[in-house]
Amino acid sequence: MSNNITIKEHKSLNHQDHISFIFDGRNGDRCDYDSCEHNLRRLELLMKKRFSLQQEGKKKWLENRELKYEKFFPVEFMNDKDFVLNHIKKYGYGLKFASKQLQDDREFVFKVIQLEPTEFQFASQNIQHDKKVYQLNGLALQYAPKIIKRDRNIVLSVVRQNGEALQWVDDKLKSDKEIVMEAFKQNKKALHLVAVSHLLYMKNSLLLDQEFMLTVVKASFPEFSHLTTVDYSKKAIMRKLVQEYVWLLKFASDGIKNDRDIVLSAIKNYNELRDKEVPFKFASAHLQNDREIALLAVDQDGSALKYVSEKLRRDKQVVLKAVSQNGYYFDYVPDELKNDRDVVLAAVTQDGDALRFASDELRNDREVVLTSVRQKGDALCFASYGMKNDREVVLTAVQTKGKALRYAGEMMKRDKEIVLQAIKQSLEPLEYASQDLLSDKEFMLEVVNLKYIREDKELIMEAVKNNGYAFHCILAGKLQHDPELVMEALKCNGYVLEYSDELYQARMKYCYHDAYLGMTTMTDH
């Protein structure tokens, strides 16, 4: 008896065709062979179509797997160890975007920090407390918990492996002679790379320790290998030392501090980001009154103005260079120059808060105040009464920082546009608005619309359809877990707040036609 074949078709959620076969031996003699042949041909076409779609899906997946991702990893790659490691190898980052499961995977994180130590900051807290990590790569100490940075045994082990890690240990251990010496021993071949950053954290007592300083000097300057002591009064030694460690001028003899060439060399080699103190601070009073040296010093770091002689502080060019470099030091400008418009404009352009030290006349200067509040909105508090009631000035201030509304004049606090502009960043400035405005129902409706646009599901739905990452940028509260929004973000570009196998499978079905790719889920690992 021949079999009767019944073929049923149904659609899956992602509109791919699936076929179900039911073989039934009854009524075989009545089988419509033409119909069976037609259905079998249809089955063959549907299977070919499905296979073709899966091949397309696999190709798309492989192409997407080679892309560079700057803000997040699509869910299909968040838990993929090979993908995450490869992305870190090629671009230097990626653990931040990986699943929490990978961030808490000890062996995986060990592989990551061997490629890129800075990625350790995105490992789980559990991994960051694992002492073995720091034996693998000492540079991971930068992101270690405080308890690890205070552990002398761990620190000693780390600096023996990588002396550069000394810059991240607890401050108390930075003056531990054994630890510092071990760091230098490890870094003899690359001392220029790390020595400056090491010495920045040393206590003065250690810098005056002959054994320690001999190690530093001999390792830094082979021509001094014959020395038995380090004498800070010797020109030959100090001329070399200040080329690398400019602030060692602090320990020099008075004669060296008055040596123009050595002081100039120290100032020229100063690096604001690297060196903890400006060498001009340690120059002799005679050289602090040297105009050429003073101009060079304040041009490099405005804080040098604190150490310029009284005479040179009245020199407009010296002061202009200083406040243009750092407006914060406008406070050290003599009173007669605090009323100089050029000097004040230069200062507030660099630091809006410098307005506090300007004369009353210039606090009422519209251009000066506008320049100040553009740089720092809060600087409105130092403006004159008239400027606090100048609409353009106040609007500029609240655009820079909404909370600047608190310093505006009462009339400005009744201005709808100004208040609405102020609360765009947050609702906090609303407390400074006038009571009349807060009682205005029409105005308060605008406030509500402005504030709660982030909780309007319809608007957010449109946003995530265009860019799934908008889910991260816009959402707040309960909508973060709205199933429809989650799926729209996932469909758009694979963005999810947190990895799960269910979301991974949904993404594979929707975007890659359910292509089979092997082990990629949490349970597979």
Is pLDDT at 198 greater than 50 in this prediction? no
Angle between helices 291-300 and 316-325 (to 10 degrees): 20
**Both structure tokens of 199:** 């010495």
- 183 and 136 both lie in a single domain: yes
Q: What is the mean pLDDT of residues 415-439?
A: 90
Task: Tell me the pLDDT band of 458, cut-offs 50, 70 and 90.
Answer: confident
Give the DSSP letter of residue 355.
Answer: G
Q: Which of 230, 255, 274 is the last residue of a domain?
A: 230
Q: Residue 427 — pLDDT band, cuts 50, 70, 90?
A: confident
Q: Is the residue at 523 inside a domain?
A: no
Could you tell me if 190 and 236 lie in one domain? Answer: no
361 and 414 fall within a common domain:
yes
Answer whether residue 190 shows pLDDT above 50. Answer: no
The residue among 266, 289, 307 that closes a domain is 307
User: Are residues 136 and 31 part of one domain?
Assistant: no
Backbone angles phi, psi at 6, to 5 degrees: -105, 130
How many C-beta atoms surround the C-beta of residue 192 within 10 A? 11
β-partners of residue 23 are 5
Residue 6 β-bridge partners: 22
Helix (H, G, I), strand (E, B) or coil at 440: coil
130-154: pLDDT as tens digits: 988 888 888 899 999 999 999 999 9
**Residues 437 and 390 both lie in one domain:** yes
H and E: helices and strands count for the chain? 31, 2
Instruction: Assess contact for 363 and 382: CB atoms under 8 A.
Output: yes
Residues 396 and 412 in one domain: yes
Residue 392, domain extent: 338-452
pLDDT tens-digit series, residues 485-496:
889 989 998 999
Domain annotation covers residue 489: no
Residue 477 pLDDT: 59
Least confident window among 153-167, 231-245, 457-471: 457-471
Does any domain span residue 77?
no
Question: d(Cα 389, Cα 395) in Å, to the nearest integer?
Answer: 10
Identify the top-confidence range among 31-45, 100-114, 230-244. Answer: 100-114
pLDDT at 456: 62
Q: Mean per-residue pLDDT for 501-517?
A: 86
Beta-bridge partners for 10: 18
Q: What is the mean pLDDT of the chain?
A: 84
Domain boundary among 184, 213, 230: 230
Is 499 a residue whose pLDDT tops 60? yes
DSSP bridge pairs for 20: 8
Task: Specify whether 296 is located in the same domain as 355.
Answer: no
Total number of domains in the chain: 4
Model confidence band, residue 57 (pLDDT cutoffs 50, 70, 90): confident
User: What is the pLDDT averaged over residues 431-439?
Assistant: 90
**CA geometry: angle 78, 80, 81, nearest 5 deg:** 115
State whether residue 256 is helix, strand or coil.
helix
Q: What's the pLDDT score for residue 274?
A: 65
Residues 6 or more apart whose CB falls under 8 angstroms from that of 31 comprise: 2, 3, 4, 5
Residue owning tokens 């005479």: 311
Average pLDDT of the segment spanning 204-217: 81
Give the pLDDT score at 16: 44
Task: Write b or e for each residue in 363-401: b if 16 or more Cβ atoms lie within 10 A of its Cβ, otherwise e.
Answer: bbbeebbbbbbbbbbbbbbbbbeebbebeebbbbbbbbb
Residues 220 and 246 in one domain: no
What is the percent of the chain with per-residue pLDDT over 90, rounded to a whole number? 55
The pTM of the full predicted model, rounded to 2 decimals, is: 0.62
What's the average model confidence in pLDDT over 445-460? 64
pLDDT band at 158 (very low <50, low <70, confident <90, very high): very high
Span 246-269, pLDDT tens digits: 888 988 999 999 999 999 999 999
- What is the rounded CA–CA span in Å between residue 218 and residue 17? 77
Q: What is the pLDDT of residue 156?
A: 94
Q: Is residue 382 part of a domain?
A: yes
Q: What value does the mean pLDDT take over residues 402-408?
A: 97
- Of 6-20, 37-51, 276-290, 437-451, least confident by mean pLDDT is 6-20
**With 60 as the cut, is the pLDDT of residue 81 above it?**
yes
| Section 314-324 average pLDDT | 97
Match 């900051």 to its residue by tokens. Answer: 121
Above 90 in pLDDT, residue 110?
A: yes
pLDDT at 436 over 50: yes
CA 324 to CA 321: how far, in whole Å?
5
**Average pLDDT over every residue of 211-226:** 86
The verdict on 431 and 342 lying in the same domain is yes
- Write down the pLDDT at residue 3: 46
Let me know if residue 151 belongs to a domain. yes
State the distance between the two ends of the chain, measured CA to CA, in whole angstroms: 49
Mean pLDDT to the nearest integer, 341-351: 97
Domain shared by 170 and 222, yes or no: yes
Q: Tokens 């992305």 sit at which residue? A: 87
Question: What's the one-letter identity of residue 16?
Answer: Q
Judge whether 257 lies within some domain. yes
Q: Please state, for a pLDDT cut of 70, what percent of the chain lies above it.
A: 82
Average pLDDT over residues 473-489: 75
Shared domain for 222 and 135, answered yes or no, is yes
How does residue 38 score in pLDDT terms, banded at 50, 70 and 90?
A: low
Between 524 and 225, name the one with better pLDDT.
225
- Check whether residue 425 and residue 444 sit in a common domain: yes
Confidence band, pLDDT 50/70/90 cuts, at residue 33: low
- Find the mean pLDDT for residues 69-83: 96
Q: Mapping DSSP to helix (H, G, I), strand (E, B) and coil, where does residue 20 land?
A: strand
Residue 168: pLDDT band (50, 70, 90) is: confident
Q: Does the CA dihedral 500-505-506-507 come out positive or negative? A: positive
Domain annotation covers residue 493 = no
How high is the pLDDT of residue 12? Answer: 43
